[in-house]
Amino acid sequence: MKEGKNHRRLTIVTWLVIFLVWYVITEFGLVSHLIIPSPKEVLNTFVDIVKNGYNGIPFWKHLGISLLRLFLASGLAIVTAVPLGLLSGYFKKVGAIVDSIVQFYRPLPPLAYYIVLILWLGIGESSKVTLLFLAAFAPIYIACVSAVKNIQLEYLLSAQSLGAKGKDLFYRIVVPACLPDIFTSIRTAVGVAYTTLVSAEMIAATSGVGWMVLDASRYLKSSVIFVGIIVMGITGVLIDLGLRTIENKIIFWKGYQ
C-alpha cells in the first residue's frame, strides 16, 4: 500500500518537473514560441477550441470522430484476431494459412498500404477504419498464438487425464490460460491503432484530432498541435486505464498462475 503511494508521488513529481521545465523554457524565451508554445498559450488555445471548435467543427466532434474510428477498428480487430490467433496456435493447419499473411503485412509502414486501401475502398471511413483495424490486428493475433504455445503442458495433460477432450480442452483450459496475454495484447493494439490514427486522418479527412494536428502543422499553429497531442495522450491513458480495470475484474486469477 505504502509502495503504491510512493509510486504515485513519484509520478506526480515527474510530471511537475516536466511542466516546470516547459514553463521555464518558454517564460525566459529560451526557445521560440513557434516551436514550443507556453503552457498558458496551450491552455488558452484549448479553451478557445472547446468553445468555438476548430475549422468550424466543434472540438467534441473532432474527438468523437477519432474515438469512433479507433473503437470500431479495435473492436473488429479483437473479435477477429483473438479467435484466429487462438486457433492458429492450437491447430497448425490454421496457423499455416493465416500466419504468413499476418507476418507479411505486419512490418509494413501504415502509409505503404494506406494508398492501396484508398484505391480499393475509397477515401471515406472504410479505408481509415481498415487501416486502424490492420494496425490493431497483428499485435493481438501474434500474442494469442504465442500465448497458446506457452501454455504449460501440465495444464493440458491434467485436463486430459480428467477426461477433457476437443472443445472442452480448448474452451476450459486454453482460452482461460491465454486471457492475461490477450488483454495485454489488446492494450498494446489499441495504442498502436491510436498512433496510426494520424496516418488514417492524413488523406481526405476534414475532422478528427489527428487531422486537427496535421492541419495546424501546415500553418505553424504550434499551440493547436500541442493541444491535439495532449488530448490524444490523456485519452490514450484513460482508455488504457479502462482496459486495465476490465482486465482486473475479468482475470482475477492473474499473477497466481
Using 50, 70 and 90 to split pLDDT, how confident is the model at 177? confident
Residue 216: inside a domain: yes
Q: Is residue 14 part of a domain?
A: yes
Tens of pLDDT, residue by residue over 195-225, are 888 878 877 678 899 899 989 988 889 999 9
Give pTM, 2 decimals.
0.87
Q: Look at residue 142 and tell me if it is in a domain.
A: yes
Same-domain pairing of 27 and 96: no
How many structural domains compose the chain? Answer: 2
Indicate whether 74 belongs to any domain: yes
Q: Give the pLDDT of residue 70.
A: 94
Same domain, 159 and 235: yes
Are 238 and 142 found together in one domain? yes
pLDDT > 70: percent of the chain: 93
C-alpha cell at 152: 504449460
pLDDT band at residue 241 using 50, 70 and 90 as cut-offs = very high
Residues 111 and 13 occupy one common structural domain: no
Task: Indicate whether 257 belongs to any domain.
Answer: no
Residue 257 pLDDT exceeds 50 = no
Same domain for 20 and 135, yes or no, is: no
pLDDT value of residue 251: 82
Which of the residue ranges 3-12, 68-77, 134-143, 226-235 would you say has the lowest mean pLDDT?
A: 3-12
What does 58-123 look like in DSSP terms, one character per residue?
Answer: -HHHHHHHHHHHHHHHHHHHHHHHHHHHHHHHH-HHHHHHHHHHHHHHTTS-HHHHHHHHHHHH-S
Say if residue 140 is in the same domain as residue 21.
no
Q: Quick check: is 111 in a domain?
A: yes
**Domain presence at residue 255:** no
Residues 132 and 8 in one domain: no
Is residue 182 domain-shared with residue 155, that is, in the same domain?
Answer: yes
25 with 72, same domain: the answer is no
Per the structure, the complete domain to which residue 41 belongs is given by 37-250
* Inside any domain, residue 229: yes
The CATH number of the domain holding residue 76 is: 1.10.3720.10
Both 129 and 244 in a single domain? yes
Output the nine-digit C-alpha cell for 244: 486495465
Mean pLDDT over all residues of the chain? 88
pLDDT tens-digit readout, 94-144: 999 999 999 999 998 887 888 899 889 988 899 999 999 999 999 999 999
